[in-house]
Structure 1
Amino acid sequence: MMAQLVYFKEWLTTLYKRHIEIILPILKLLFAFFALSMFQRMFYYNEFIDKPWVFLAVSAVQAFLPISFLYYAISILIMINLWNVSMDIFLGFVIFFIICSLAFIRVDKKHAIIIIATVLLFYLKLEYLLPVLLGMSVGFGAILPAAAGIVTYFLSVYMTDVSTLLTTSTSSSFGMGLQRIVNLILIDKKLLVLLVTFALIIFITTLLCHIFYERAWMFAIFVGNIAMVLLLLFGRLIFELDYTIWRLFLEVILGIGCCYIYRFFRGIGDVSRIEKVSFEDDEYFYYVKAVPKIKVTEKNRNVTNIKSEENEDDLLFDDITEDSDLPDKDGKEAEKE
């Protein structure tokens, strides 16, 4: 069974590398269209921009550009929607966008996908799949982008209350909406618990993955997910939050599966063939422990066609007949001449 999975992984990896010029733009287009549609549903305050052809055009451009372009497109989409609700909230989000762009996106383009993925998974109610996977794949650098994504999602939740307040209020003044958003952020214990939990789990998982041990990744998966469950249950008990317990445990199981899939495609070490090497130079001794990845190559099958003796005799007779006709024909032509 393991060999068949390795065959499939090698085949899929080879197929992707061979056709990366076609597959990657298609994947980026589909992801961009899905992300733009989901963000429009979260911040649905401007019907004019809610056009599928607009999202499709932006997604087609994104297919040939870095992923940071999608982050900027989504931010502009949010700004257009917030403009219809409150000018002060719009300006506050612009400041938040500039801070994220300078602090995360400018440093590393992959931080853009972390922010987008965090918001989408929260919206799809699959947020607990994320922290351990980020710790394994990205490391400590994923803490701040994930926090920015969590704040962006909760902003979409708060906007429902704020838009209703601003619509029904008779004496709305400049700064009222932004003040309401800040107050909700400060008093929301669920947001605080999630920010602390995600930061700690990413930190713990990253540390465990870098232990000098060949199965550290497996240890990190289980410890990270168990620690996340304990922290969330502790936060639920202390602050009386409304976590759904069965959904939490179900997502943890799915998260473990996602981590194993990620690790499988990244490469699992063959601990039966560990090699230890030592060498030195003028200043240091070096001790290296190498764990080779599991790789399986399919055997090349050679097919040999075996012909019967009758067919070979027929072919030989045909060849002799054809050869014997040639001299006669040449001789007749010579006589005519």
Structure 2
Amino acid sequence: MESLFVLKGQLQRFYAKYSKIVDKTVQFVLALVTFYMINRDIGFMKELTNPVITLGLAVVCTFLPSAVTVLAAAVMILLHMFSVSMGMAVVTAVVFLIMFIFYIRFTPKKAIIILLVPVAFMLKIPYTVPMAFGLLGTPAYVIPITCGTFVYYMIDYVKTAAPTLATAEDASAVSQVTAQVTTYAKQVFRSKEMWVVIAAFAICLLVTYTVRRMSIDHSWKIALLVGALLNILIIGGGDMILDVGASYLELIGGNVAAIVIGLVLEFLFFSVDYSRSESMQFEDDEYYYYVKAVPKIVVAAPEKTVKRINKRENVSETEIIDTDEIRRKASVQSAKKHQSKKRQETKNGGKTGNMDHLLLTQSLRKEFDLDK
């Protein structure tokens, strides 16, 4: 377990150092997956399903704000719908326009959640979204999750009704478009399954958010379990009462996947040691305060000590020694040292003799008053 916390610390340091690169990489992958899923699930306009267009559009959106990715996905959905039914494209465009006017332009950074919901539905893990944002977000995330659920069910209805619309013929083009708009609006906005899912997601997010903020041990794990049970109970109850046609296998499997992903999020963002928690109480002039302090789990990365051992190789060599040459060199060096010493003594002796003579002369002159 300690190695996992060390790995977590390394990931945090890596992200702190390369955060811009990581953010842009995630944005590129999300845009690429979104465009691919739209082309795969709708794909009525064959020109847009070209992989080169999908990849190029994802690259362009990577270097632009995340709200541009949402707008690009909305335009792609509208073009696919327009190739099948003008009435569907009109209703979808109105819905997208309302989302943009009342939500996206005020919170452009949260608009990316609208894309996450349809992608999660297409990957069969939609219950992950409300539980994840219940752990990491606030109740305000109910709005983008609801909008994303609307988008998914509009796409799902178009995918189901497209063959019927393509073969339908009517005497008047205007009446045909009117009939398509009416049918499409009724099918989407009166979908019992969609409203049950929206209610389940909203309640799950709010309850998960409330429980994980409670001052109890293992609040995140309890919030995950409660959120998963609420999803199963609400959607399962809606199926029994309203006959929405829910798949129980996907319902249970999706919530299990949501719990696993939630545990990963807890490990990354809320690693605490409840065994060392402390409760404190203090007061001021107006209030009494009851505080519970739970320390975070922090594991220092082990320091690596590198020892370098240089192996010395024993090299044996055979050398022929000329003794006469060595003696000759030694005698020459000895003679040079002797001569140098003699010259130094002679020099020092000369200086000493001159000094003695000078002192004797001065003494005699002083004694016999010769200076006068």
TM-score, reference length from structure 1: 0.83
| 8 A Cα contact 2:78 2:92, kept in partner | yes
Question: Would the alpha carbon gap of residues 150 and 307 (structure 1) be closer, same or farther in structure 2, given more than 3 Å must change?
Answer: closer
> Which residue in 2 is equivalent to 1:63?
62
CA deviations on 1:232-281 (whole Å, 9 max, x unpaired) are 22112112333332332222222111000011101222223334455666
| Distance in structure 1 (CA, Å) of the matches to 2:132 and 2:221 | 12
What secondary structure does 1:237 align onto?
helix
> Which residue in 1 is equivalent to 2:214?
211
| Distance in structure 2 (CA, Å) of the matches to 1:291 and 1:53 | 51
> Which residue in 1 is equivalent to 2:263?
260
| 8 A Cα contact 2:41 2:159, kept in partner | no
CA drift of 1:286 comes to: 4.6
CA deviations on 1:261-317 (whole Å, 9 max, x unpaired) are 011101222223334455666765554433221110123233455789999xxxxxx
CA drift of 1:149 comes to: 1.2
**Range moving further from structure 2, 281-290 or 153-162:** 281-290
Determine which of 194, 199, 208 is the counterpart of 1:196: 199
| Distance in structure 1 (CA, Å) of the matches to 2:93 and 2:50 | 23
**Range moving further from structure 2, 145-154 or 171-180:** 171-180
What secondary structure does 1:53 align onto?
helix
Does structure 1 residue 135 correspond to structure 2 residue 124?
Answer: no
Q: CA RMSD in A?
A: 2.7
> Which residue in 2 is equivalent to 1:126?
125
Question: Would the alpha carbon gap of residues 245 and 87 (structure 1) be closer, same or farther in structure 2, given more than 3 Å must change?
Answer: closer
Q: Which amino acid aligns with 2:81?
A: L
Q: Which amino acid aligns with 1:233?
A: G
Determine which of 216, 229, 237 is the counterpart of 2:240: 237
| Distance in structure 1 (CA, Å) of the matches to 2:18 and 2:143 | 34
Q: Which amino acid aligns with 1:11?
A: Q
CA deviations on 1:177-201 (whole Å, 9 max, x unpaired) are 1211112124432122111111111
**Range moving further from structure 2, 219-228 or 203-212:** 203-212
CA drift of 1:71 comes to: 0.3
CA drift of 1:74 comes to: 0.3
1:1-337 matched pairs, under 5 angstroms:
2-171=1-170, 173=175, 174-276=177-279, 286-304=289-307
| Distance in structure 1 (CA, Å) of the matches to 2:305 and 2:283 | 47
Question: Would the alpha carbon gap of residues 154 and 304 (structure 1) be closer, same or farther in structure 2, given more than 3 Å must change?
Answer: closer
Q: Which amino acid aligns with 1:180?
A: T
Question: Would the alpha carbon gap of residues 169 and 298 (structure 1) be closer, same or farther in structure 2, given more than 3 Å must change?
Answer: closer
| Distance in structure 2 (CA, Å) of the matches to 1:308 and 1:22 | 44
| 8 A Cα contact 2:125 2:257, kept in partner | no
| 8 A Cα contact 1:214 1:269, kept in partner | no
**Range moving further from structure 2, 73-82 or 293-302:** 293-302
CA deviations on 1:147-167 (whole Å, 9 max, x unpaired) are 111111111121134433332
Structure 1, unmatched stretches of 5+, are 312-327
What secondary structure does 2:124 align onto?
coil
The alignment covers a number of residue pairs equal to 313
| Distance in structure 1 (CA, Å) of the matches to 2:189 and 2:77 | 22
Q: Which amino acid aligns with 1:30?
A: V
CA drift of 1:168 comes to: 2.3
**Range moving further from structure 2, 107-116 or 74-83:** 107-116
| Distance in structure 1 (CA, Å) of the matches to 2:149 and 2:120 | 10
Q: Which amino acid aligns with 1:35?
A: T
| Distance in structure 2 (CA, Å) of the matches to 1:41 and 1:94 | 21
| Distance in structure 2 (CA, Å) of the matches to 1:206 and 1:21 | 29
CA deviations on 1:47-67 (whole Å, 9 max, x unpaired) are 122222222222112222222
CA drift of 1:88 comes to: 3.1
CA drift of 1:77 comes to: 0.8
- Which structure would you say has the larger Rg? 2
Question: Would the alpha carbon gap of residues 256 and 175 (structure 1) be closer, same or farther in structure 2, given more than 3 Å must change?
Answer: same
Question: Would the alpha carbon gap of residues 306 and 36 (structure 1) be closer, same or farther in structure 2, given more than 3 Å must change?
Answer: closer
Structure 2, unmatched stretches of 5+, are 315-332, 341-372
| Distance in structure 1 (CA, Å) of the matches to 2:198 and 2:207 | 14
